[in-house]
């Protein structure tokens, strides 16, 4: 059993994590094995995110201290929270885990983006968005396409000129 001082320290630590995060995802993991929760935690850490389990009352206090408008006491089951330093990583990882393990009673219960509370549907929609790296790759591809086309056009004109000159040379010989 934690003392009041320990609980206050945990609330402050979690509030700081919440402030440092761009997005939070709340998930019900009641009935999920420790091995499966550890798998989720590892996958989140791989992507620069984190996972924490604590009592709903303490999580609510931490959310309030961080200025996030969300009430986790109304959520069903045992709630874990995933912290993400970008907008989509935590939602993507948890949605992929829930989809891949349909036999496990792991469900997304909501979340927050900045200080705004998100519904289950909004979190699932967030999970479908491309990550920041994917968006950057798409931008680079979009910027590179006109340049590549321009280079192909120029090389096509040069190769056409070379073919014409070669044909003239063969005709004269």
Is the confidence at residue 82, as pLDDT, over 90? yes
Binned at pLDDT 50, 70 and 90, residue 169 comes out as confident
Q: Are residues 89 and 150 in the same domain?
A: no
Strands 79-84 and 50-53, bridge-based pairing: antiparallel
Range name among 10-24, 63-77, 158-172 with the lowest pLDDT average: 158-172
Q: Are residues 102 and 69 in the same domain?
A: yes
- Report how many domains make up the chain: 2
Q: Are residues 21 and 93 in the same domain?
A: yes
Q: What pLDDT, on a 0 to 100 scale, did the predictor assign at position 83?
A: 92
- How is residue 131 annotated by DSSP? P
Torsion region of 110: left, alpha or beta (phi above 0 gives left; psi -120 to 50 gives alpha): left
Q: Are residues 35 and 12 in the same domain?
A: yes
pLDDT in tens, 58-74: 999 999 999 988 888 89
Size of the chain in residues: 173
Q: Are residues 115 and 149 in the same domain?
A: no
Backbone φ and ψ of 53, nearest 5°: -120, 130
Q: Are residues 87 and 24 in the same domain?
A: yes
CB 39 within 8 A of CB 92: no
pLDDT in tens, 83-104: 998 888 899 999 999 998 888 8
What mean pLDDT, rounded, does the chain reach? 87
CB 95 within 8 A of CB 127: yes
CB 111 within 8 A of CB 26: yes
What stretch of H or E contains 91? Answer: helix 89-100
Q: What pLDDT, on a 0 to 100 scale, did the predictor assign at position 61?
A: 92
Q: Are residues 15 and 95 in the same domain?
A: yes
Q: Are residues 142 and 121 in the same domain?
A: no
Q: Are residues 17 and 92 in the same domain?
A: yes
- Residue 29's domain comprises 4-129
**Which CATH number belongs to the domain containing residue 53 in this structure?**
3.30.70.1730
């Amino acid at each position: 059993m934690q003392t009041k001082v320990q609980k206050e320290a945990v609330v402050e630590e979690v509030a700081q994590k919440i402030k440092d995060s761009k997005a939070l995802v709340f998930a019900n993991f009641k009935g999920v094995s420790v091995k499966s929760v550890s798998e989720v935690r590892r996958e989140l850490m791989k992507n620069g995110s984190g996972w924490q389990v604590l009592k709903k009352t303490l999580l609510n206090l931490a959310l309030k201290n961080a200025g996030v408008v969300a009430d986790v006491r109304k959520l069903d089951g045992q709630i874990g929270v995933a912290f993400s330093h970008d907008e989509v990583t935590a939602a993507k990882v948890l949605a992929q885990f829930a989809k891949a393990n349909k036999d496990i009673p792991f469900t997304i219960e909501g979340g927050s983006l900045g200080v705004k509370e998100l519904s289950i549907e909004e979190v699932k929609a967030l999970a479908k968005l491309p990550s920041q790296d994917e968006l950057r790759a798409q931008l680079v591809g979009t910027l590179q396409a006109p340049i590549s086309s321009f280079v192909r056009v120029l090389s096509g004109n040069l190769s056409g000129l070379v073919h014409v000159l070669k044909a003239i040379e063969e005709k004269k010989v």
